Amino acid sequence: MAAVDLTTHPGHLARRLQQAHHLLWNTMVSEEITSPQFAVLNTLVAEPGLDQRTVGERVGLDRSTIAEVISRLIRRELLDKVRDPQDGRRYLLHLTDEGKRTHRKLTLRTARMNQVFLGPLSAAEQSVFFDLIQRVSDAAEGLRNPAEAVGAAGG
């Protein structure tokens, strides 16, 4: 049996890309705040007062993962949650003053990290890269049943 060319396997390349991102994040942005945690902070800067489910949808995290991320941010005193006056079962999320300061600091660091991460690409290539990776990411998030997707692609 012959070995396959892993450079033609998107999952393999995505994992390598994620490893590089993780290394750069930890060295250039933060060892304390993760990229998903930053995404939550960033979402709440853009749209303060969202509920946990909506934040999870905005950042592409499942229910259990978003619950853990939000719990960690609350423990770090970067987020507050208040009961929704329209629905007492729901909590709305807001950044604390420390959360806002942390977001500002990390935003500057992420900009520099992204310059390094995307350094091998020209501005035009970066635009194409973002378009392509966004389209694949959006399609992947839309998959509910991978077996159906395989059937649709093969037929």
For residue 95, the model assigns a pLDDT of 98
Answer yes or no: do 103 and 125 share one domain.
no
pTM as predicted: 0.86
Q: What is the mean pLDDT of the chain?
A: 92
Answer yes or no: do 95 and 129 share one domain.
no
Residues in the chain: 155
pLDDT one-digit tens code per residue, 31-51: 999 999 999 999 999 999 999
For residue 96, give every residue at least 6 positions away whose Cβ sits within 8 Å of its Cβ, in sequence order, or none. Answer: 77, 78, 79, 80
Q: Is 136 a residue whose pLDDT tops 60?
A: yes
Let me know if residue 54 belongs to a domain. yes
**CA 63 vs CA 54, 57, 68, 102, 127: distances in Å:** 10, 9, 9, 24, 31
Q: Binning pLDDT at 50, 70 and 90, where does residue 139 land?
A: confident
Let me know if residue 2 belongs to a domain. no
Q: 10 Å Cβ neighbour count for 66?
A: 21
Answer yes or no: do 58 and 20 share one domain.
yes
Answer yes or no: do 96 and 31 share one domain.
yes
Answer yes or no: do 17 and 86 share one domain.
yes
Instruction: Give residue 77's domain range.
Output: 10-117
Of 113, 28, 39, give the one whose Cα is nearest residue 79: 39
Dihedral pair phi/psi, residue 50, rounded to 5°: -75, 155
Helix (H, G, I), strand (E, B) or coil at 91: strand
Answer yes or no: do 53 and 110 share one domain.
yes
Let me know if residue 60 belongs to a domain. yes
Let me know if residue 87 belongs to a domain. yes
Answer yes or no: do 32 and 52 share one domain.
yes
Let me know if residue 38 belongs to a domain. yes
For residue 148, the model assigns a pLDDT of 61
Answer yes or no: do 79 and 139 share one domain.
no
